[in-house]
Chain A
Amino acid sequence: MLHTFVALVEDKPGVLTRVASLFRRLNINIVSLTVGHSERVGVSRMTIVCEASPTAGHRIAASLYKLENVLQVDDVGQLSHVARELALIKVAANPKTRSQVFELAEVFRARIVDLAPESLMIEITGVESKIEGLIQVLNENGDRILEIARTGRMVMRRGQHTSKVLEAMRVPGVETPEELKAEEESAAASDVLMAEETGFRE
């Protein structure tokens, strides 16, 4: 199954190699990996999607956390979250065939961001299935896709949950509200207690 991890990592040379090398060592293929700045200077946020056995989540998260540059890891697969991906799709289209593509883009709430005599570029955000839906429709419609660039999945947990990075970095003045703390602790405790669900091997 697909697992999704959010890792907050130090923004330093070599960190990406360490993370990628860990998946290589476990012989797990990374489906997508997006990296960018987080809410803190010097901290990057990675969203890693990988294909692994249903029980592998705990071990991957724990192994990620063993890397010294990793400040926090969240296995968001089981939690309520928002997932988005951005794609740029360049389609062959001339002035005669353009309007059809415009209509499709409209249906998918995508935008046309570039227009050239023989091509146009569509920008679309959404969950993967939506992007794949647009690609499929374009293909079925006979529109020739020239290029696709996709960011890969990025996710954020829903609700009041905030990343623990501020706390982890001991930033003065930032404190986790008590009820949140309790909630997180009980979540972490259930990680441990529900060994059956987190076992790596059968």
Chain B
Amino acid sequence: MAAAKKHDHDRNPPAHTTRLTGSEILWATLEGEGVTTVFGYPGGAILPAYDALRKFPIRHVLVRHEQGAAHMADGYARASGKVGVCVATSGPGATNLVTGIATAMLDSVPMVCITGQVSSKVLGTDAFQEVDITGITLPITKHNFVATRPEDVAPMIREAFLVARSGRPGPVLVDITKDAQQASAEFDFAAAAPKPHRPHPMLKTESASILQAAELIRNAKKPVILAGHGIIQSNAGAQVITLAERMRIPVASTLLGLGAFPASHPLSLGMMGMHGEAWVNHAIQSSDLLIACGMRFDDRVTGTLATYAPNAKKIHIEVDPAEINKNVKVDVALIGDLKEALEALLPHLAPRDAKQESAWLREIEAGKGEVAVRDIRNLPDSGHLYAAHVMHDLWRATEGKAIVVTDVGQHQMWEAQYYKHDEPRTLITSGGLGTMGFALPAAIGAKIACPDKEVWVVAGDGGFQMTAAELATAAQEHLDLNIAIVNNGYLGMVRQWQEFFYDKNYESTPLLSPDFVKLADAHGIRGTAVSSRSQVLPAVTEARAHKGPYLINFMVEKEDSVYPMIPAGSALHEMIRRPKKSPLVETAQDK
């Protein structure tokens, strides 16, 4: 994935060079690293740090559960491209962060987590609220530290920021003992700078591979670019557009890659994989060259590996050498920062003759007109409200410009299919870990990172309840946040799997929810319920006009499914299609 090249921490070294407590050093170092907002929850072992907070110009957002703090820092980082910071106390505070840290790890999000720890004198004694959080988070952080002395704090925090944003970004945890927060040490921000990061001997975008890649691209008849999250993190959108336009190559996106390449671009195919449109997956399967940019051939985008793109050569451009040949064997690997690799590659590529490519583009275009594509979005209003209507109208109303933060499940896939993202960092979603409960807190982080942007939460009725307590955080912070709950009364994606693969045995998926509008009201948040298509746009318009948080409970078709779908273990082209005579669309007058 991407290498963050610019380290803005060297620009404004703070003036503190005196003797400070470890707590003061913590905040001063964060300030020096450019941190303006942290998300956290106080407790015994982190109290000295909280006591010192008021001396520093850092906004603290009080969450309702530490998982929320981690997701907020994550959403903040994804929306802004900066490092997100969350703070928790020792023991349960620290363990509550775990799901949020793992979410950031799987999606390579730069994040620094600060946890309090019991005093160094009682470490390892099962003291009150002691837990080995560095041991627990070892496999789900890029790196972690324990600071037991005040003089450790500044160098460790600074190194944590460097590690979090360099190479393939990821979360870093710094555990600070209570005595290290309380004791004093000399503080010198500049002197605490980490030593230059070790060079990566495996990073090689040397000319031989570049030439080989260029030759493959020049000779390809049916190339496809696979656009991943790395494009956004490496800020390589412009280079990918140049590559696609110059060589007339269509672009398919991963879920996290949506927005990296404009959805409205004529060469954009849309999302690939398990719930990708059929023509996208067919294009990949019949392609003769895949150019993978900052993506990792996750099992959700490849289907079974044995039959994945059988006739295609593969070029993999990736910053993490451990991703090369992990799932899919590639022919050429360009290991390094995506933007740099593409800049090295582009001069070797002369614009392709438009005629040569048009046959391939026509072949893909023909797939779009296939009869099996039954786009319910365009059906006349039959009294049924489909999630597709909600997403489509939301996209129309916001002109595709809002930051949409989704939860995990059916609504997430419908969002990916029907909301067309033209800008990077406008879709924020938990891809790798698939963390339900992510949307609301991550959206709070995104809104705080981008206060001038319109932010929408899109969540299911199941996932929303996992972190619904953060409604209080949104209310307390007076955030102008819009919340769309796609409410079908089921844990919808699990129900869909039960429908397809478990004989419709809907075990434990019907879901009783509170009246979400009343729940919002209890938090002083405005809300409305929508159950017909004609009400969708007016409700969205109302929410957008309202200052402050606004919740819409969309009561959609209960047993609608996400189509197409590749069953786990099937080939990419073996999709389950929307049934032609679905009882759900029978009443709609489909021609």
Contact = CB atoms under 8 A, between A and B. Distances in A.
A168 B196 CA distance: 10
15 contacts: A17-B138, A25-B139, A58-B321, A58-B325, A62-B320, A65-B202, A66-B322, A71-B198, A168-B201, A185-B206, A188-B204, A189-B204, A192-B324, A193-B209, A201-B326
A178 interface: no
Contacts of B220: none
B436 interface: no
Interface in A158-202: 164, 168-170, 185, 188-189, 191-193, 195-196, 198-201
Contacts of A170: 195-196
Secondary structure class of chain A's binding surface, majority of residues = helix
Interface string A96-123: 0000000000000000000000000000
B212 A193 contact: yes
A67 B167 CA distance: 12
Given A58-B321, A62-B202, A62-B322, 11 more contacts: A14-B134, A58-B325, A59-B322, A65-B200, A65-B321, A192-B206, A195-B324, A195-B325, A195-B330, A201-B325, A201-B329
Interface centre among B195, B198, B212, B327 (most CB of A within 10 A): B198
A63 to B, nearest CB: 5
A172 to B, nearest CB: 13
A69 B143 CA distance: 9
B403 interface: no
Interface of B: 134-135, 138-139, 142-143, 163, 195-196, 198-202, 204, 206, 208-209, 212, 305, 320-322, 324-327, 329-333, 335
A169 B194 CA distance: 12
A25 to B, nearest CB: 6
A72 interface: yes
A169 B198 CA distance: 7
B325 A192 contact: no
A130 interface: no
A86 B335 CA distance: 39
Interface in A1-49: 14, 17-18, 21, 25
Interface residues of A, number: 34
A199 B195 CA distance: 33
A140 interface: no
Contacts of B335: 192
Interface in A47-83: 55, 58-59, 61-63, 65-69, 71-72
A52 B332 CA distance: 24
Contacts of A68: 142-143, 163
A71 to B, nearest CB: 6
A61 B199 CA distance: 15
Given A58-B324, A68-B142, A195-B333, A201 B305 contact: yes
B325 A59 contact: yes
A192 B326 contact: no
Contacts of B208: 189, 193
A25 B305 CA distance: 22
Contacts of A192: 202, 204, 206, 209, 324, 333, 335
A195 B330 CA distance: 7
A59 B326 contact: yes
Interface of A: 14, 17-18, 21, 25, 55, 58-59, 61-63, 65-69, 71-72, 164, 168-170, 185, 188-189, 191-193, 195-196, 198-201
Contacts, number: 83
A169 B195 CA distance: 9
Given A25-B139, A193-B209, A196-B329, A62 B324 contact: yes
Contacts of B333: 192, 195
B108 to A, nearest CB: 12
B204 A168 contact: no
Nearest to B134: A14
A198 to B, nearest CB: 6
A67 B139 CA distance: 10
B325 A198 contact: yes
A71 B163 CA distance: 14
Contacts of B327: 201
Nearest to A72: B201
A193 B330 CA distance: 10
A168 B199 contact: yes
Nearest to A12: B145
Question: Closest 10 CB pairs between A and B?
Answer: A62-B322, A62-B321, A68-B143, A199-B325, A199-B329, A63-B322, A192-B333, A192-B204, A189-B206, A168-B198
A186 B198 CA distance: 20
B139 to A, nearest CB: 6
B209 A189 contact: yes
A193 B299 CA distance: 24
A195 B329 contact: yes
Nearest to B323: A62
Contacts of B134: 14
Contacts of A185: 206
A193 B331 CA distance: 8
A103 B332 CA distance: 57
B202 A191 contact: yes
A39 B341 CA distance: 35
Nearest to B314: A195
- Identify which of B138, B199, B201, B326 gathers the most chain A CB atoms within 10 Å of its CB: B201
Contacts of A66: 142, 320, 322
B201 A164 contact: yes
A169 B197 CA distance: 9
A119 B386 CA distance: 84
